[in-house]
Chain A
Amino acid sequence: MILLDRVSKTYNRGLGPSLDRISLHVEAKEFVIVVGQSGAGKTTLLRLLTREERPTSGKIIIGGIDYDKLRDKDIPLLRRKIGVVFQDFKLLPNKNVFENVAFALEIVGVSNKEIKHTVPKVLEIVNLTGKEKRMPMELSGGERQRVAIARAIVRQPRILIADEPTGNLDPKHAWDVIKVLEKINRYGTTVLLTTHNVEVVNKLKRRVVTLQNGKVVSDRANADYKI
């Protein structure tokens, strides 16, 4: 489902690479946690997967799409296949909860009728029923993160990428978010999660990929947090 072959990314030649010849293979329906200290390259890795950045070298293939052959005009189509939960939520400030989630469906031309049917269901999954009309500014951090998750999953993507989705949340809300991700994974979505949260990693008991100075230093199944 996700294949990285000796991928490197260098922003500034003087500072060395942010990612150094990373190779990673994630199977369909897998739940993979990427851990590492700040600056280890976790966010760079996710930015490469969403094609916000291009690798300096190496090959990336996601869901059969070879990034080398991807034209600019096809990037939106790629992003529609991947659900992304950003650490800073990235909610549209001028849209309410319902509209933020609906936006993901609107851009692919889903009918209003279907949107009205689907969005409430997804909001129910993330426990946001009744808050449809709230604007992002009126929500707590946890609620905003759950809106972001709802938006990422509403199109039922085959791959969900979550960049430190618990980073800004207290333990209770953090665990709520993780439970949603687990639920989505059970429905068949491949999940790639980056986190700092030791407790989350240890409780989940999933495959853990550890990054350090831009390199994969360990890749273990059913693992604990260990750096």
Chain B
Amino acid sequence: MKRKWITFLRIIHTGIVNFIRNLSLAVAAIAVMVVTLTIVLFSVIANATFTNTIASITNRIDISVYLKDTNTEVQNQNLVSKITKLPNTKSVQYLDKKTALQRYINQNAGNQALLIAVSQTNNPIPATILVKPNDLNRIQDLKTFLSSTDNKALQSDEASYSGDRKQAIDKITGATNTLRKIGVTAVAIFTVICALIIFNTIQMAIFNRRDEITIMRLLGAKTSYIRGPFIVESAIYGILAAVLSLLIINGLFLASNNALQATSLGLLDINYASTFFSENFWKLLGLQLMVGTIIGVVSSVIATRRYLKFKTK
């Protein structure tokens, strides 16, 4: 046990000493890892920002169900409670005729002519149920429910999920799905590219020191004793690269914070990127450390393998 412990400490110590002695090689490898990990981190943040933007857009979409003036309050409340119980219903808001009118006036505050016209008639706005769905893709369920004869009898007009609005909702749904897929694919692709580049870099670094491995082998060193320090070295590469890439992104956010606040990119909520980064800093650090270390360790294990083989013929 004591001997194993001595060996373990020696492997760690040798790995650190080798890292320092091969600093020029290490700097090159770490630089490549920093660039690739930064790209991955950037794509993760970009993906989160896109997802957030999509969520905030879909959150604004609701379906209005217009009710007949002849309905009793009980009938309306019954319909509200039935819609609330539907599985795809996120929230339901019931507006009686008065509230619906007030909302209409607020929404059209700039249009004086329209407001005058409305004020001169007996409240033309029907009582309305505003339904927010959980998933825009499953909006059809709600539509089917509202189209049933009983429920249709209570409605003064087609629900707002129709015509132009239907097209807009469908377009947004399609776009959000595509964007989500693109985001996830981009992160996956960048991670794979990152892994390959890092693997190649570490393989080159170990290739330069293949003679060292052969010599150790000839002297009777066991595989784990030869490989151990290389793994430690590669893990140090991974840890430093992860920390540096996070610092770079952090620096970029700090430097461009004011600029970002002043920038309007339409619906894309760029500030969310900064918020997401600071809120998930430790998680992202952990993720980067994990990715950097795992890729480093796996690469060094694979790269040393070929020089550790014994001749079989």
A residues whose Cβ falls under 8 Å from a Cβ of B: 50-54, 72, 75-80, 84, 86, 90-94, 103-104, 106-109, 111-112, 151
16 A-B residue pairs with CB within 8 Å: A51-B310, A52-B311, A72-B310, A76-B220, A91-B215, A92-B212, A92-B216, A93-B212, A94-B21, A107-B216, A107-B220, A108-B220, A109-B3, A109-B6, A109-B7, A112-B6
Residue from A51, A75, A86, A106 with most neighbouring chain B CB atoms (10 Å) = A106
Please, which residues of chain B bring their CB within 8 A of the CB of A86?
Answer: 218
Q: Contact between B218 and A94 (Cβ–Cβ < 8 Å)?
A: no
A112's nearest neighbour on chain B, judged by CB, is B6
Q: How many A-B residue pairs have CB under 8 A?
A: 60
User: What range describes how many residues of B lie at the interface?
Assistant: 20 to 34
B225 CB within 8 Å of chain A: yes
Please, which residues of chain A bring their CB within 8 A of the CB of B223?
Answer: 76
B residues whose Cβ falls under 8 Å from a Cβ of A: 3-4, 6-7, 10, 18, 21-22, 209, 211-212, 215-223, 225, 310-313
Partner of A77, one of B7, B211, B220: B220
Min C-beta distance of A104 to chain B, whole Å: 6
Partner of A107, one of B21, B225, B310, B313: B225
Q: Please report the C-alpha to C-alpha distance between residue A84 and residue B219 in the assembled complex, in whole angstroms.
A: 8
Q: Contact between B312 and A107 (Cβ–Cβ < 8 Å)?
A: no
Please, which residues of chain A bring their CB within 8 A of the CB of B3?
Answer: 109
Q: Please report the C-alpha to C-alpha distance between residue A94 and residue B7 in the assembled complex, in whole angstroms.
A: 19
- 5 closest pairs, A vs B, by CB? A79-B220, A80-B220, A109-B3, A107-B221, A76-B220
Please, which residues of chain A bring their CB within 8 A of the CB of B312?
Answer: 54
Extra A-B contacts (6), CB below 8 Å, given A94-B18, A108-B220:
A50-B218, A78-B220, A80-B220, A90-B218, A103-B221, A151-B219
Q: Please report the C-alpha to C-alpha distance between residue A109 and residue B5 in the assembled complex, in whole angstroms.
A: 9
Residue from B4, B215, B217 with most neighbouring chain A CB atoms (10 Å) = B215
Residues A107 and B311 in contact in the complex (CB < 8 Å), given A92-B215, A94-B18, A94-B212: no
Residue from B4, B21, B312 with most neighbouring chain A CB atoms (10 Å) = B21
